[in-house]
Amino acid sequence: MALQLIIGGSGAGKSYCLQQQIIRDSIAHPRERYVLLVPEQFTMQTQKDLVTRHPAHGIMNIDVQSFQRLAYHVFDEVGGSRKVLEETGKSLVIRRLAQQNREKLTLLGSKLERMGYVGEMKSVLSELTQYRVGPELLEKLQKETGDNRVLADKLHDIQVLQEAFQAYKEETYITSEEILEACSHVIGKSRMVADSVVALDGFTGFTPVQYLLLERLMCCAREVIVTVTLPAQEYPFTALHAEELFAMSKQTIWELTRIAREQGIAIKEPLLLGREGMPRFVGADHPLAFLEAHLLRYDGAVYPGEQQAVRLIRAEEPRQEVRFVAGEIWRLIREEGYRFRDIAVITGDMEGYAGYIEQQFADSRIACFIDHKRDILANPFVEFLRAALEMLEENFSYPSVFRYLRSGLTGIPENIIDRMDNYCRALGIRGYRRYEETWEALYQGEDPAELEDINAAREQLLSQVRELKETYSGAGKTVRQRTEGLCRWCARLHIQQQLKDRELSFQARGELALAREYAQVYRIVMELFDKLVELLGDEVIALKDYAKILDAGLEEARVGIIPPGADQVTVGDIERTRLKDIKALFFVGVNEGIIPTNGARSGILSELDRESLGRHHLHLAPSRKENAYIQQFYLYLNVSRPSERLYVSFSGRNRKGEVLRPSYLVGMLRSLYPGCVPVSAPLTPASRRQGLELLARQLGMAEETENLPVLEGLLAYFQEEPVSAGKLARVLQAAKGQQRRTALDRAAVRAVYGETLVGSVTRLEKYASCAYAHFLSYGLRLKERQEYTFAAMDLGNVLHKALELYTGELEKSSYTWFDIPTEEQAALMDRCISQVAEEYGNTILRSTARNTYMIDRMKQMGRRTVWAITEQIRCGRFAPRGFEISFSAAEHLDAVTFTLGTGTKMRLTGRIDRTDVYEDDGHMYVKVMDYKTGRKTFDVGEVYHGLSLQLAVYMNAALEMEQRTHAGKEIVPAAMLYYQIKDPIIDAEDDISPEQLEEERRKALCTKGLVNRDPDIIHLLDGRIGASSWAIPAGVTKTGALSARSSAADTAQMEQLFARVRTQMTRFGTEIMEGSMEARPVKKGEQTACDFCPYGGICGFDPKLPDEQFRRIPSLGAADVWEKLAQTSETGEQKTDILSRKGDA
C-alpha cells in the first residue's frame, strides 16, 4: 500500500505520464487490475485516449471510472439492495414532505411553495450530506446560534426536513451524495479494488466524503496515484493561505498525505513534472508557456517581443462576440488547417451565451457540442401539462385556459384561438360552467360570423379536457390515480406522435438542438410519472399539492445532449467543462460580473449565515470569498489549456443595453503582453442572412462605424447577387428611414375612407396630432383589445348616460333646475346611476367587489356633479335648452359640412352634452357645455393649431341650429365650456368652516373654456360674479372690467377663431382624402403625441433618425392667438400654417 503523487503545472504532461505508466504496468502485469478515476464528464475521453495510446488498442485490465460508477460496481460485487434516489426523485419527495410538515416549519414553510425553492432546499440537504452534517449537529447549532433567531429558525426547519427525509428513505433509498459514504463502508470487501492500482486524474480537489472513500481505497489498494495541478517550482508543503492561486492543490496534497500518515500508508517521492519545459507548448519561450508560468503570480513579468498567440477582442455586444468567434473558427480551418476538435469555446455565463452560440454555430455550419444541460420548463409539452392542471385547479380561469390553448398541442388553429381569446377577454368568460354553455352574446365590434368558429373551438377544448376533469374531480385521489389519469390523457391526445412530428420538422430545418430536445422530452416526462408513482403512489393528495410536486420534478428535469461526433468544437463552462488537447481557445464574456462572478450565493443559507456557522466550527461549501480564489484557479487551468492560440473577448454592453466593463483578466493580460491591445471584433458574417442582418444594423450608424470597408464590400456583394436583390432594397429603404409609405394612392383612399369622409371632431384632432396614428385608427381600424374591466372610460360613459337620464327625469317631474331641492337632486341621481349600472356592459359592475364599490363611488360623484351644475345654472340667466344634442350628416348643417380640395365632401358627426340659451327681444345667446371625466384644460393656442377643435365645432353647430329655429334674431356665442365631472378633495386647514369648504369645492368645480367678454353677457352668465367666479372662467375688477386671468374674447374674435377652425378642418380633411399618413407627431413643449399613443409598437417612429422628427409647435398665449387672427382677417390669408404636412413652421 502506497501513495504516489504526480505534481506539475497545467500542460506539464501529468495525464500523459499517468496514462503511460498505467499502460506499461498493465502490459507488464496483465493479471493485475488498474482503476483510473476521473470526473464523470471526462470518462469517455479518457477511455478513448487510453485505447489510442495502448499498443494493443485495448484496455482489458484497465477500468476508467468516475467515483459514482466505482461505487455502483462495488455494490454490484458485494451487494447493496437500496435504490438510488436521484435528483428529480429527491425534489418530488422534499416537496411532499414540506407539504406534510408545513405546521412544523417556523420560517421556510410558506417559501417552499415558491418556484425553485424546493431545489434550494434539496441543495442544502445534499450539501449537509456531503459535509457529513446530521440532525444532531443541527440541533446543537440551533442552541449555539440562539442569539441569531432567523438562522436558528432556518436550522430548525432544515433539521425537520432532514429528519423527515432520512425517515422516508431509510432501508429503501439512498441518495447520490450518500453513495460514496455507503461505498466506503463496504469497499474493503471488493475484490475489484483489493490489491489493485487506483489512479485519480483531472480532479481539482475533493469533498469530505470523497476523502473518506480515498482513505478506504488507500487501505485496500496496492497503490493510489493522484495527479495534482501544481507547478514544479511551487513547494507543495508550505503553509496554506486561502488567497494563493494553488491553495486547492496544496490542500489536496496536505489532506492526502495526512490520511496516508494516519493509516500508515507509505508515501512515495512525488513525481515532479515541468521542470525541463512544458510538453503542451512548442518551445519554452512560447507566449502561452509564458502565460502558464506567470498568470496570476503578480511577479511583474513581461513577455519580451511581439506575439500573436494571445489576442484581446472588444465587441459591442455578446452577439457580435459570438459572430466573431464563428468567423475566426472558419478562418483557422480554411487558412491554418485546424479541425473543429482542435478548438474550444468557454464562458463564465453559459445561460447568457449558450443560445447565441447555438444559433450562430448552426447558421455557420460549425459542428459543436455544448456542454450544458437545459431545463424543459419552456417546452410546449411541459407547458401543456402544467397549464392543464392549472386549468382544473383554477376552474377554467382565463389565464389558465389560454395558457393551455397556446401550448400548441391542442390542434386548434392559432387564428381561432386569437378570436376566442378576444371573445373571452371582452366578455369576462371564466369558470367551467361558462364553457359548457353555447356562447351567443357579441361584444362591441365583433363579427357575428366568427361566433360559429369560436363555439367549435370551445367544444373541442371541452372534448379534450372533460375526461381529465372527471378523473381529477372529487377528493381522496391518490398520486397513482392522478398520474395514471394524466398518462391516459396524453395517449388519447396522441402527444407522443405530435412531439415526434415536431422533432422531424426541426431536423429537416437543421435545428438539431431543438430536435434532440423534442426527441427526449416525452421519455423524460414519462419517467417522471413513473417516479411519482414509485415514490408517492398510494398517498392521497389534493390537486393543488399534486401540481406543485409535479412542478418540482419538472424543474429538475434536464435535456442531456450526447456529443454528436468526434470532430466538433467543444463549448462549455469554465468550471464544469474538461478540455483536452486543444490548439485554440476562445474565452468569451470576459466582463466584470462574469469573470469573476459578483452574484451572491442564492440559497437558503446566506453568506452571513455561513460565516456565522463557520465561527461555530461548521464549514460547508466554499464561501463567496473562497470561491473568488477558487475561480482564479479555474481561470489559470482554462487559459493554459490551448497549445497555440488564446482569444479573450468582452462586450461593451449586455443584452439589456447596460454598459459593461472588461474583467480584471483583460488588464492582467495587457500587463503580461504590453503589445496586446484590444481590437474591435471585425464584422465577419458567415451566411447571406447574417450579412443582410449586419448590413441593416450598421447602415443606420454608418457615419460612426469603423467598418466602412466591410459595409462597402457587403453592399457590392449583394448588389451583384440576384437572390438577395429584393431583401437588399428593403434594407436600404429602412436604413434611409423610409420604411413606411407617406401617402396612400387614390384607390386605397377610397377603399379605406369611402367617397365621402364622415367622422367625428376627435378624428380630426387625432389627424392633427399625428397623421399615421389617424391612419392606423380610422383607416386600418386598429384598436386595443376590449377588456372585461371597468376603466376610466367606462366611468365616463356611465356618468354621461346617468346625466342624460337625470335630465329627462327632471323634465318629467314637477321641478326645474332652478327649484329642485338638494335632497331630491341626490336621490334622483342615485336612481339614475343605479339604472345605468344595471344595464351597463353585461353586468360588469356586479362582477367584482371592487366594481360594486365603484357604483357607490359614482353615486357620490354624480351627486356632487348635479349639485355643481345646478348651482352654476342658478348663478346666471341662461336656461338649459337641450341635452345630448346629436348632429349628423343627415341634418346638412353647414357648420359640419365641408367641400374639400379634392372635390369630395366631409361631414362631421357628434353629440353636444348641453346647450343653454338666454333670449331677449333681438338676440339669442348660446352657451355650449361639454362634460369631461378626465382632466381637460382649455388652451386657445391648441384650438388655433387644430389640436383642440371640439368646443368650437360644437358652438358653430349649436349657433346654426338656433339660427334655423330663430331666423329673425341675432345668434350670439356666449360661452363654450368644459365641466370636469369629479368629486374634488379639498386641501384645507382643520379649522375651515362648512361654508368655506363649500366655497372651495365650488372653485374646484369651476368650468374651463372661453366666454364672450361683453359685460352684459358676462353678467347673464353669472349674476354674482366678483373677483372670481365658480360658474365661468372669468372675474371682474373693482371697476367692473374683466380681470387679466379671464378666458374671454369679443364676438368678432370668436368668429375669427371659428373661421380659423373651419380652415384647419378643411385642410385636414383634404390631406386625409389625398392619402396623407406620414408619421410626424406633434411636440409641444415636453408633451408629444406619442406620450399615450397605443400604436408605439407599430409605427416605429424614432426621432433620433434624421428623417424622422417631431413637428414642433410653439405655445401661443391668448394675446398671440388674437393678434395672429387679426392679421389673418386683415390680409385674408393664413400667415402661419403650423400643421402643414410640408414640414415645421
Domain ranges of the chain: 2-82+178-273, 87-170, 293-372+564-680, 380-559, 688-735, 792-875
Query: What proportion of the chain, given as a percentage, has pLDDT over 70?
Result: 91
Q: State the average pLDDT over residues 830-844.
A: 79
Greater confidence (1031 vs 1098) lies with 1031
pLDDT digits (tens, 9 = 90+) for 602-658: 578 888 888 888 888 887 888 777 788 888 999 999 999 999 999 999 999 988 888
pLDDT digits (tens, 9 = 90+) for 810-822: 999 999 999 999 9
Give the Å distances, CA to CA, from 69 to 36, 65, 196, 447, 762. 11, 6, 17, 65, 76
| Across 305-309, 421-425, 575-579, least confident range | 575-579
Q: Give the span between the Cα atoms of 558 and 375, in whole angstroms.
A: 4
pLDDT at 735: 60
Count of CB atoms situated within 10 Å of the CB of 568: 18
Q: Which three-class secondary structure state does DSSP give residue 2?
A: strand
* CATH architecture group of domain 2-82+178-273: 3-Layer(aba) Sandwich (3.40)
Q: Does the structure show a pLDDT above 90 at 793?
A: no
| Across 531-540, 882-891, 1028-1037, 1136-1145, least confident range | 1136-1145
1052: which DSSP letter? H
Q: Give the span between the Cα atoms of 1035 and 1075, in whole angstroms.
A: 46
> How open is the CA angle 693-695-700, to the nearest 5 degrees?
110
pLDDT digits (tens, 9 = 90+) for 332-347: 999 999 999 999 999 9
Q: Mean pLDDT score of the chain, rounded to an integer?
A: 87
pLDDT at 849: 64
Residue type, 178: E
Q: What angle do the packed helices 318-336 and 350-363 form, to 10 degrees?
A: 50
Alpha-helical segments (H) within 759-916: 761-769, 771-774, 792-812, 822-839, 849-875
Residue 831's pLDDT band, with cuts at 50, 70 and 90, is very high
Phi, psi of 400 (to 5 degrees): -70, -40
pLDDT at 724: 62
| Across 81-95, 191-205, 1097-1111, least confident range | 1097-1111
Q: Does the structure show a pLDDT above 80 at 415?
A: yes
pLDDT at 62: 94
Query: What proportion of the chain, given as a percentage, has pLDDT over 90?
Result: 54
pLDDT at 561: 66
Phi, psi of 680 (to 5 degrees): -65, 140
Cβ-contact 309, 644 below 8 angstroms = yes
In the CATH hierarchy, which fold is given to the domain comprising 380-559? PCRA; domain 4 (1.10.486)
Q: Give the span between the Cα atoms of 131 and 206, in whole angstroms.
A: 11
Q: Give the span between the Cα atoms of 253 and 257, in whole angstroms.
A: 6
Cβ-contact 683, 692 below 8 angstroms = no
Residue 1063's pLDDT band, with cuts at 50, 70 and 90, is very high
Tell me the residue length of the chain.
Answer: 1145
Greater confidence (612 vs 80) lies with 612
Dig out the grid coordinates for 244 from the structure.
Answer: 494563493
pLDDT at 1145: 33
Residue 577 falls in which region: left (phi positive, over 0), alpha (psi -120 to 50) or beta: beta
Q: Give the span between the Cα atoms of 173 and 87, in whole angstroms.
A: 12
391: which DSSP letter? H
Half-sphere exposure of 478 (CA within 13 A, CB side): 11
Residue matched to cell numbers 361558462: 434
Dig out the grid coordinates for 513 from the structure.
Answer: 438542438
Cβ-contact 1139, 946 below 8 angstroms = yes
Q: State the average pLDDT over residues 676-703.
A: 72
pLDDT at 1142: 34
pLDDT at 520: 93
CA 477 to chain centre: 37
Strand 879-887 versus strand 905-919 pairing type? antiparallel
Long-range contacts of 340-343 (CB under 8 A, 24+ apart): 340/366, 340/367, 340/368, 340/567, 340/568, 340/569, 341/566, 341/567, 341/568, 341/569, 341/570, 341/582, 342/581, 342/582, 342/583, 342/584, 343/569, 343/570, 343/582, 343/583, 343/584, 343/585, 343/586
CATH 3.40.50.300 assigned to 293-372+564-680 = yes
Residue type, 128: L
Q: CA gyration radius for the chain?
A: 40
Residue 733's pLDDT band, with cuts at 50, 70 and 90, is low
Contacts of 181 (CB under 8 A, 6+ apart): 129, 132, 209, 212, 213
Q: Does the structure show a pLDDT above 50 at 1143?
A: no
Name the most confidently modeled range: 159-173, 275-289, 841-855.
Answer: 159-173
Note whether 2-82+178-273 and 293-372+564-680 share their fold. yes
Q: State the average pLDDT over residues 766-789.
A: 90
pLDDT at 269: 92
Q: State the average pLDDT over residues 408-412.
A: 94
Q: Does the structure show a pLDDT above 60 at 1141?
A: no
Q: State the average pLDDT over residues 322-334.
A: 93
pLDDT digits (tens, 9 = 90+) for 18-37: 999 999 999 999 999 999 99
Half-sphere exposure of 116 (CA within 13 A, CB side): 5
Q: Is 224 exposed, middle or buried (0-12, 13-18, 19+ CB in 10 A)?
A: buried
What is the maximal distance between C-alpha atoms in the chain? 132
Q: State the average pLDDT over residues 51-57.
A: 92
pLDDT at 476: 87
pTM listed for this prediction: 0.73
Which candidate, 439, 482, 445, 443, places its Cα nearest to that of 458? 439
Q: Give the span between the Cα atoms of 1092 and 770, in whole angstroms.
A: 12
pLDDT digits (tens, 9 = 90+) for 230-239: 998 887 777 6
Residue 1144's pLDDT band, with cuts at 50, 70 and 90, is very low
pLDDT at 601: 52
pLDDT at 1066: 95
pLDDT digits (tens, 9 = 90+) for 961-1010: 999 988 889 999 999 999 998 888 777 777 778 778 888 888 889 999 99
Which candidate, 70, 66, 208, places its Cα nearest to that of 130? 208
pLDDT at 598: 64
Q: Give the span between the Cα atoms of 579 and 129, in whole angstroms.
A: 30
Give the Å distances, CA to CA, from 833 to 120, 787, 826, 856, 982. 54, 22, 11, 9, 15
Residue 842 falls in which region: left (phi positive, over 0), alpha (psi -120 to 50) or beta: left
Contacts of 1047 (CB under 8 A, 6+ apart): 938, 940, 1008, 1009, 1010, 1011, 1033, 1034, 1118
Q: Does the structure show a pLDDT above 60 at 702?
A: no
Residue 891's pLDDT band, with cuts at 50, 70 and 90, is low
